[in-house]
Amino acid sequence: MEKELNVIETSVLNLIPKGIGSRRTLAYIRDVSGYNIRQIQSAINRLILVHNVPICATRTGDGIFIPQTEEEREIGLRSFKSQIKEMIKRAQAVEDANLKTWDKEIHLQYQITLDADIDRALQDDFDNLFLFME
């Protein structure tokens, strides 16, 4: 049974090339389609999950594509699987964080002095203020 794509899904799918050598960035798809990045990402998500379109991305984030070979699919999935591992680590860290004491367990560092140029400019402004007031 065929599944009907909506207008955004159709536009986005038409802009996703077949083959890793022709991959396109989300920015390119945004510029050509006129849709914002959130709309594009949502359409890609639906294309993958609802319509079973095998859309992949490269590890360096330099574009998305529809793989034409098992090797291209593996390259596209490698990046995704790595991202999943990092997301699991992040979720575990949030789960493990002590909600009552996390802010007492860190030491914040602040910049104490200003750059010399900014320091001089502030001093000049300060001196000029007193000359003006005399």
d(CA 48, CA 69): 17
Tell me which of 1.20.120, 2.60.98, 3.40.50, 1.10.10 is the CATH number of domain 7-101.
1.10.10
Give the model confidence (pLDDT) of 87-111 as tens digits.
Answer: 999 999 999 999 999 888 888 877 6
Rounded CA separation 78/85 (Å): 11
Domain ranges of the chain: 7-101
Separation of first and last alpha carbons in the chain: 87
Quick one: pLDDT at residue 46?
96
pTM here is 0.69
Whole-number Å distance between alpha carbons of 56 and 78: 10
* pLDDT tens digits, one per residue of 56-84: 998 676 899 999 999 999 999 998 898 89
Q: What does the pLDDT look like over 6-59, one tens digit per residue?
A: 999 999 999 999 999 999 999 999 999 999 999 999 999 999 999 999 999 986
**Residue 78 phi, psi dihedral angles, 5° rounding:** -55, -45
